[in-house]
Structure 1
Amino acid sequence: MALVQYSDSESDAEQEAPPRKINKIQDPPSHHRPIASLPPLPASFHDLYASSTRVSVRDDPSLHGGRKRVIPHVEGNWPTHIYLEWYPSKEELGILGNIITQAEHMLRGEQAKLHSLLHSDLGAQLPLHISLSRPVVLRTEEREPFMDSFQGALQNSEISAFDVQLENLDWVSNSEKTRWFYVLRARRPDKDDLNRLLRLSNGSLGYFGQPALYKPASPASKLDEPQRRTQDSEHSPNDLTECFHVSIAWSLAHPSLEDTERMESINLQGLNDLRVHFDCVKAKIGNNVSSIPLPR
């Protein structure tokens, strides 16, 4: 049977035709009507939309609030990041939003403007995370061997799901000193899970020649702020808990001494009762996100 091609005018007329009247079937009484409820979205759903749409093939800071790309686009290179992901609840978003609002009122100057990491420019909720690696680069042929190595090490470690308590508002810079992040520090979990995961990540990426994250520094080296706090702590050199953090906002300007002092008066009400549960480790290679579950 041949297909009939309709003209544009016919298609428009068909769309504008008045709808046919359909006799409505009477609804059953409310006490007999089944209650429809949608199941919650699986955690893997967020991994499908973990990457934003590329709007330029070149690094254009004007498209990203002044941010500069740390890893340039190079064919055959795959930006890689290992992390723990957290989607705050409505109540948790309220606590974090209140902290950011207070910080915004205390900063001075246009360059010190804070950009929240809780929501996108369109108002969609964004995931937060604790990094277990630097932003590194793997070659195409290294992707599969790395994932096999890292998953094997994680399964053999017997690290199970755990909770992390957040405390203290602070700031850290990226390695290029082009952005400053306002962060909440993580408290050491009962079984030292953060340090254990960090060692697994550093070891697996180190096999492929990638630099470690939060590697203990020698006293003679020039230390950044998180490393100074770690070295001065009473913990062992291998305990890097004070480096772990969750970024909640960022700025292009270095916080002044006055800004830092004012931040100490921010009310962190509700933060002490906030515990974040992690039951998987995320590995993002390019635009592909793998979720590796931790035993419960």
Structure 2
Amino acid sequence: MALVQYSDSESEDSQGESVRPPAKKQRPERTPLPEPSLPPLPKAFHDLYASSTRISVKDDPSLHGGRKRAIPHVEGNWPTHIYLEWYPLKQELTVLSDVIEQIEQKRRRCCTRLNSLLRSDLGAQLPLHISLSRPVVLRTEQRYSFMDTLRSAIRGSKISTFDAQFEGLDCVSNYERTRWFFVLRVKKPEGDALNRLLRLSNQSLAPFGQPPLYESSAHVVDATTSPIGSMQWQQGATPHTPKDYSHCFHISVAWTLAEPSPEEREQISNLDLREINGLAVGFDCVKAKIGNNITSIPLSNGVD
């Protein structure tokens, strides 16, 4: 094989020090720019993506952490719920997450999983809410007349926007006693807005044959002896005496399939809730969800 011939200049370079590449010019240091502060998403945006994709046409609890559908899916029936919605801010989410972490620490010996309601399985933030109705069912032909009834009732009431605060943690069951929820109790707001909205919700659903939430001719919650999920016979109420259900209103933050033991309840009652009790949540509209469609009905802003 022939040898490759190099020029004299190339051989001299090879015998001396290796040739260094020219030094790069140093660029002047740049002052890091502050990250742009993005405006919050409009409230209506969350209504557009409030429902998850249906992955089964049958009630399969294994797909939902063991939950069972309270209302079976029937063609022509529309699951309906009236509520006040809260999307916690970043700082509020931190406080709520700390409370859930405290609950988990108290439940170390419990064999059932504690499921947070703050985020989905994929990590997306979920809205929290105060219920103003049970999960009920409307027929297809009832949807629009019901919405007209509810919208007229709320607008005619002139109920103003209001702030709500919390006053403790409790554990309650749903009506079927298939799930137990860890909830933040809500204080009675100024103007008694929650009781007034509850009455309007129940009155709007009554003509469509739907059962009321809390307010009932047969059952009522007794706040002095029972948790929210327990019911006992109503005593001493008349149709002309509006009852005060302030002790019933709450926001659920986590759930489990097993009823907490008395020991767990006692431990949970001793959690540090100072930061939670200091929060104030503003509500400016009522939401009605019929199927996957959500309608927002604004409360009065005090301006005629």
TM-score class normalised by the smaller sequence: 0.7 to 0.9
Q: Which runs of 5+ in 2 are unaligned?
A: 1-29, 236-240
Equivalent residue number for residue 227 of structure 2: 225
Displacement of 1:104: 0.7
- Shift of the alpha carbon at 1:230? 12
Contact 1:61 1:67 in 2 (8 A): yes
Specify the alignment match of 1:243 in structure 2.
248
Please name the residue that 1:77 is paired with.
Answer: 77
Residue number in structure 1 paired with 2:279? 274
Specify the structure having the higher radius of gyration (Cα).
Answer: 2
Secondary structure of 1:93's counterpart equals: helix
Cα drift, residue 269 of structure 1: 2.7
Is the Cα contact below 8 Å between 1:195 and 1:241 reproduced in 2? yes
Superposed CA deviations along residues 55-89 of structure 1, whole A, max 9, x for unmatched, are 10000000000000101110000000000000001
Residue 152 of structure 1, CA deviation: 0.3
8 Å CA contact retained: 1:83, 1:133: yes
Q: Give 1:129-168 correspondences, 5 Å limit.
A: 129-168=129-168
The residue aligned with 2:299 is 294
Q: How do 1:1-296 and structure 2 match up within 5 A?
A: 38-107=38-107, 108-111=109-112, 113-216=113-216, 225-226=227-228, 238-296=243-301
The answer (yes or no) to whether the contact 2:220–2:232 under 8 Å persists in 1 is no
Q: Quick one: distance in 2 between partners of 1:38 and 1:129?
A: 25
Structure 1 distance, partners of 2:220, 2:245, is 18
Mean Cα deviation higher: 128-137 or 261-270: 261-270
Q: What do residues 256-278 of structure 1 show as CA deviations (whole Å, max 9, x unaligned)?
A: 01101111221113112101100
Tell me by how many angstroms 1:207 deviates.
Answer: 1.1
Rate the CA distance shift 1:229–1:184 in 2: closer, same or farther, 3 A: farther
What is the distance in 2 between the residues matched to 1:216 and 1:292?
25
| Alpha-carbon separation, structure 2, partners of 1:213 and 1:274 | 26
Mapped partners of 1:66, 1:136: distance in 2: 21
TM-score, with length taken from structure 1: 0.82
Question: Following TM superposition, by how much is the alpha carbon of 1:206 offset from its aligned partner in structure 2, in angstroms?
Answer: 0.7
Paired residues of 1:146 and 1:204 also in contact (CA < 8 A): yes
Task: Tell me the CA shift for residue 39 of structure 1.
Answer: 3.4
Structure 1 CA distance for aligned equivalents of residues 213 and 81 of structure 2: 11
**TM-aligned CA deviation for residue 190 of structure 1:** 1.1
Aligned CA RMSD, in angstroms, stands at: 2.6
Q: Write the distance in 2 (CA, Å) between the matches of 1:269 and 1:157.
A: 34
Letter of the 1:127 partner, please give it.
P
User: 2: CA distance between counterparts of 1:49 and 1:229?
Assistant: 38
The Cα shift of 1:225 comes to 2.6
Shift of 1:155: 0.5
Q: Output the amino acid matched with 1:269.
A: R
Question: Against the structure 1 CA distance between its residues 137 and 229, is the aligned structure 2 distance closer, same or farther, given a 3 Å change threshold?
Answer: closer
C-alpha change, 1:115 and 1:221, in structure 2 (3 Å) is closer
| Residues 105-160 of structure 1: CA deviation (Å, up to 9, x unaligned) | 1123212x210000111111000000000000000000000000000010100001
Residue aligned with 2:85, SS: strand
Aligned equivalents of 2:247 and 2:221: distance in 1?
19
Distance 1:168 1:46, change over 3 A: same
- Partner of 2:56, secondary structure, is coil
Offset at residue 237 of structure 1 (A): 6.3
Report deviation, 1:38: 4.1
Name the % identity.
61
Q: Tell me, in whole angstroms, the C-alpha distance in 1 between the residues paired with 2:110 and 2:120.
A: 23
- 1:24 aligns to what? none
Query: Runs of 5+ in structure 1 lacking a partner?
Result: 1-29
Q: 1 CA distance for matches of 2:173 and 2:273?
A: 22
Q: Secondary structure at the match of 2:97?
A: helix
Letter in structure 2 aligned against 1:177: R
Q: 1:159 to 1:63 in 2, by over 3 A?
A: same
**Alpha-carbon deviations, 1:42-64, whole Å to 9, x = none?**
10000001111101000000000
Q: How many residues align?
A: 261
